[in-house]
Structure 1
């Protein structure tokens, strides 16, 4: 029910327009202030106010209809609420109501997974805010934009509108919102967490402002980042244990399953680091239970990873393998959801850009028509000028169309090519490999898939910085590109992980090719980077002969083989073997 937050401060609007009964306006605002804390009084008040509809101004009628739609959304009738509000928008010209309607539609849509609708309506909220000088309306718009853009994973925009909101209305509540947005953006950039003393200060500020949810998220996000590291020394574990103990009682009283699930997953990971596998398993299973109705989440992956490690520690390799498959499936689903959010956001931005170009083109065409009308009344000796003008305008139109096409091609390339390594992104890789798999299956031809992962790459980033890490990624790709043939596909799956696909060859040929790539990486001269380091890579691969033509299964088996390569010393090529063969 996060959409409640977007509308929290709407009741502060005051309306004193002529022709509006003031007592109705006052009652609408009073009811709006009750809708979160006292839904029963809110509903009863709306029923009583229904008898006053004949006396309402057009603004008051729109405001009343909005509150009725909000009531539907609060009861879980989100689709009906959105339909009501979409029908209201064309007839409600007042920007105060339009900001309400579009903000609530955007918030409900982003929570429901309709990212394109959410992006469209939050864009309308910002447009409405730019059309008014009313401070309260701008405050509402910025608050909605900060929340929705954070939910769309557009962290920079979340921080931007949180800052605008705080600058416009510097309250404790808005400062808390800014703290949360800034911290999420900071952690999403793979930056180390802020000092815990600073996080505790920010969390305390949120708690004192009445925002317990953001207060808890600030602490939990900080702990979660620390537990994501490969190793933790005793001092770090002691600090985390103290943090968990300090917040334990407060979290246990939380009514939010999401918060409880995150905390359970954190405890599971902590106890695994402490080698207390029974406690780790118990908390991980509790995290799975709490996450049942929440879909794919970070805490779900964290809990599954703990269960996989515990199973492996206990020698239960079948369960470990099953958890690995669940982790892979969940990560793929979360990646697809992230891509859907990004594509929806980009689609709206591209649509706005196209509209700008279209308006400019129409304005120019209008100018041309007016000039032609004037020139038609002149003497015949002005005809050459008319022709020259038409040709000039046509040339400008062609130029604008060319720019539109160029921008369209740019957005398409951005979604298909990884900006750092210039190889295929995961989305483009999946689309191309799907076609190749279908063709190979029809002709019963073999196809091989390998996953390559740079060994101990995190140490490169930690010891030498991300600029050196980027240099290594680019030059490793340059080295293996020299060995890529026409029947091969090279893509970046994420981080330091890449995928190589080779069709119409047997496993031995694939292995030889991967060995050549491994050797090329091992002998890579890194002196030009300015750092003293060496790079190696591990490869896990499989074939359709063993794993069939299902892409998820091929990737899972290649990942298992990669796990074996890492487990047995890294810097080697390992082929996937069936469970029976491995046993």
Structure 2
């Protein structure tokens, strides 16, 4: 009987006291421990997540939102971006805290970028920026700036990476070591992506020292990888190898497979440059064997290139060509992805945390320069590979010849275009137009020409500079092009003068198109670049008659019509009439002034 009473007392204590014991647990401290373990002890984080899930009934909705947000971080480390995004959606529904929602929106943007949904990512960033403006907490602002820097790094907008990282660094310096560590890493990454390798190398070294002193091993691994990449680009291969091996080992402790894959591809490239072909092929094959996924496309592209180069050096040209083909496919996919990011960034407008502002559109000249550099790089690679294959066997000689034929056609197409605006140049445009005119004559149809000249263009150059004139010419082409059909020819005749050749278009159709183009040019928005600038053009229109046997008579008549539009006060459309006369040269010069 005594033992029975003891057993009942023990059972009562378990039933009554268990909830009291659970209520004594500081779950906020446990969640903070989870946050720290994700950075310093990744193996421990799984145990903490499991414990918090088992005790979810004791957590508030805000605490559950924090747990889901941190769990999504772990899933992103493992490359499970869609699952991570779904966890963040659940967290968003649970939380009403501005601080937690701020984190949720930024992590959502990270996951969406990884899933190539760039417009959705920018929308999530816009939501977050609206919230940062309402928050006075310096810590929240620091973390927000850091995450924005990370997102812009994924979007390949590297000047914005440096800007937000600098803001975070200024707030965190000597006050918050962890945030300062992240800020230094992003500043170094920005310099690396901008090809400032000496500066990046020093910044990564400083980052590693600082983050190691404050026990932030994940950023130490990232710093090793970044510094190794700087050494690699500078040709310092032994230092690069040592740092990549160190980063590879450090990432394995975190089971950070995405970064492990990227470091493996960098090691493959390093060993190729060191002429250690077997090791290069070993690391490249590890990456190639990974299941295809958008998150590993960059690493696989690098691995295929290494494998193609290594096999070519060994004389296995047919195998090298197969790997080269895969590399070129992935390279095209990367270029398409870059274009998608640029388009999403151009389309998105949102407000900054510190002041309301509009994001400027991406610099088209920079994009064009980048594209040209990629074409040059591809051209050089194709030429070197073709030469090596030609030495190997006669079949490869045919491939070499074919590639050179393609390049010749490419250069021919480039020579036919105006380098500033991208439309046909005068010589090519008139040749094409003459051919079209002959075809129209053979079918006994009509041919129309629209010619226009920008008004007061010299004043634009004199007042705002030649860069403003170039900008205006490109914007005019952008405004006019959507109105044209596939068979129409758009030609820059020289300076600020353009012509549109319209086969099988009668007088009314040509006049209608000219009016549309005039309105489109007048509607060009010049703000915020040149607030006081307005762009207009004077149009002349002319249609062929039976007596016309070449384009020359049409060009003379349309020229008369255009200068009649100048005389009529500019910014108008004039159809050629037989009573018009050519403008004297002196008056012509006065009108153009």
Q: Which TM-score applies when normalising by structure 2?
A: 0.50
Partner of 1:303: 303
Partner of 1:174: 179
Preserved CA contact (<8 Å) 1:301 1:327: yes
Deviation at 1:336, TM superposition (A): 1.7
Please point out which of 119, 123, 144 is paired with 1:120.
Answer: 123
Preserved CA contact (<8 Å) 1:69 1:81: yes
User: Does the C-alpha gap of structure 1 residues 140 and 487 become closer, same or farther in structure 2, counting only changes over 3 Å?
Assistant: farther
Distance in structure 2 (CA, Å) of the matches to 1:300 and 1:306: 10
Matched ranges for 1:441-520 at <5 A: 450=407, 485-486=428-429
> Please, which runs of 5 or more residues in structure 2 have no aligned partner?
1-22, 39-43, 376-404, 412-416, 433-593
User: Does the C-alpha gap of structure 1 residues 452 and 155 become closer, same or farther in structure 2, counting only changes over 3 Å?
Assistant: farther
Distance in structure 2 (CA, Å) of the matches to 1:62 and 1:453: 59
Distance in structure 1 (CA, Å) of the matches to 2:160 and 2:421: 34
Q: Larger radius of gyration, structure 1 or 2?
A: 2
Preserved CA contact (<8 Å) 2:71 2:84: no
SS at match of 2:407: strand
Deviation at 1:242, TM superposition (A): 5.4
Deviations 1:264-304 (A, max 9, x none): 33332233233332232222212323575564443323222
Preserved CA contact (<8 Å) 1:262 1:299: yes
Deviation at 1:128, TM superposition (A): 0.7
Matched ranges for 1:85-124 at <5 A: 85=91, 87=93, 92=96, 94-124=97-127
Distance in structure 1 (CA, Å) of the matches to 2:151 and 2:370: 31
Q: CA RMSD in A?
A: 4.6
Q: Which TM-score applies when normalising by structure 1?
A: 0.51
Preserved CA contact (<8 Å) 1:257 1:291: no
Distance in structure 1 (CA, Å) of the matches to 2:331 and 2:276: 26
User: Does the C-alpha gap of structure 1 residues 163 and 44 become closer, same or farther in structure 2, counting only changes over 3 Å?
Assistant: same
Preserved CA contact (<8 Å) 1:268 1:283: yes
SS at match of 2:197: coil
Please point out which of 87, 103, 109 is paired with 1:81.
Answer: 87
| Residue range with higher mean Cα deviation, 317-326 or 267-276 | 267-276
Deviations 1:424-479 (A, max 9, x none): 999xxxxxxxxxxxxxxxxxxxxx9537999xxxxxxxxxxxxxxxxxxx998899
Deviations 1:198-228 (A, max 9, x none): 6433322223333323323333233334445
Partner of 2:161: 158
Matched ranges for 1:48-447 at <5 A: 48=55, 50=57, 61-65=61-65, 67-68=67-68, 71=71, 77-85=83-91, 87=93, 92=96, 94-170=97-173, 171-194=176-199, 196=201, 199-228=204-233, 232=235, 236-240=236-240, 243=243, 250=250, 255-289=255-289, 295-349=295-349
Deviation at 1:80, TM superposition (A): 3.3
User: Does the C-alpha gap of structure 1 residues 44 and 290 become closer, same or farther in structure 2, counting only changes over 3 Å?
Assistant: same
Deviation at 1:130, TM superposition (A): 0.9
Distance in structure 2 (CA, Å) of the matches to 1:63 and 1:487: 71
Distance in structure 2 (CA, Å) of the matches to 1:195 and 1:163: 15
Deviation at 1:330, TM superposition (A): 0.9
- The number of equivalent residue pairs is 358
Distance in structure 1 (CA, Å) of the matches to 2:28 and 2:180: 28
Distance in structure 2 (CA, Å) of the matches to 1:165 and 1:71: 25
Deviation at 1:351, TM superposition (A): 9.9
> Please, which runs of 5 or more residues in structure 1 have no aligned partner?
1-22, 53-59, 358-406, 427-447, 455-473, 490-583
Distance in structure 2 (CA, Å) of the matches to 1:320 and 1:305: 9
Preserved CA contact (<8 Å) 1:99 1:140: no
Deviation at 1:49, TM superposition (A): 5.3
User: Does the C-alpha gap of structure 1 residues 73 and 482 become closer, same or farther in structure 2, counting only changes over 3 Å?
Assistant: closer
Partner of 1:468: none
Preserved CA contact (<8 Å) 1:268 1:282: yes
Distance in structure 2 (CA, Å) of the matches to 1:479 and 1:27: 62
Partner of 2:396: none
Distance in structure 2 (CA, Å) of the matches to 1:138 and 1:479: 43
Deviations 1:342-389 (A, max 9, x none): 22232221799xxx99xxxxxxxxxxxxxxxxxxxxxxxxxxxxxxxx
